[in-house]
Amino acid sequence: MIDRLQRSLAKGRLGHAYLFSGQDLGELEKVGRVLAQTLNCQNSTLREPIADACGECISCRKIANDNHPDVMTIKPESKMRQVKIGQIIRRPNSPPRVLHELIYQKSVEGGYKVALLVAADRLNTDAANALLKTLEEPPDRTVFILLSAEPERVLETICSRCLRVRFAGDGGQAFNQSEMDWVKEFALMAAKDDKGLFGRYRLLDSLLQCLAEVNQSIETEVEQASPLSQYDEAPSELREQWEAENKAAIMAEYRLRRAGFLAALQSWLRDVWLQTRGEDGGLEFFSDLSESTQIVARRLTHHDAEENLQIIEQTQRALHTNVGELLALETGLMKLKL
């Protein structure tokens, strides 16, 4: 995929905005930096058959170390876990550099100005609208690179102005301990010969209990980081603003972590699918669950196992619509063939 992108650049087919999506934001950020290096490399000719960066010149080293004056990386702020308007447009509490100052000022080193937005799905409403105005009429020699592990949450009007590039990854997505522990519990329960209604609701209940604990943990984290916990005498208008920001931050983080649990479940179901195909050593993600995986796989046809993967994808999409969370999860888990 990177080679194809570099060939496109070499042929002069440079877009002003890209949306890179994939499982691993860290890997996507590395790819974004490679593109920024390619555009600003002092030794790159940007000509066919492939455009590439040397990785050794001063410009490439500056970009690799995140201190190039014409390349900016924007990430969700640590407290609210959102990209806020103060990171896009100068505000009283803005960081030292904001995106509009990079975009609308002359290039310091005479190359391309590159804005790298990590977790673009975390743009809050004001920040997204401010970015959209810039994307509609971008200055010359300016490239936006948006990165997202959940591109379906990026504002559609922003997506429509970007060239979309999907990076499938190597299939080795890492899951945190909570996700792995829950999938282990789910797999053990699914392996039991209890496929009736009560058995299904026990599977659903295990997920809901886990998500409730996750939500409570997020609420505690956000509240402790919020100015509300530090300034008791703040004006009511400001407190209302902080409360609204807290609510949005909690929801954004909860949706991200919920997606992680469903992604872990989908990965285990992929292991089941591989087993139904009879592939030797066909456990990509959860080798320690081989017994449960094989028990479930023996009950299913290859078609059933493949349909399970589609059901989880449909459930993820439903969770990004107006469908209630409980209904979406209940419908999805009831449909699974186990």
- Domain ranges (residues) in the chain: 2-166, 177-335
Q: How far is Cα 83 from Cα 80, in angstroms, rounded to an integer?
A: 8
Q: How far is Cα 113 from Cα 258, in angstroms, rounded to an integer?
A: 35
Q: How far is Cα 227 from Cα 203, in angstroms, rounded to an integer?
A: 39
For domain 2-166, give the fold: Rossmann fold (3.40.50)
Write out residues in the chain with pLDDT < 50, as ranges.
170-172, 280
Predicted TM-score (pTM) of this structure: 0.59
What is the model's pLDDT at position 171? 45
Q: How far is Cα 74 from Cα 86, in angstroms, rounded to an integer?
A: 11
Say if residues 223 and 229 touch (Cβ distance below 8 Å).
yes
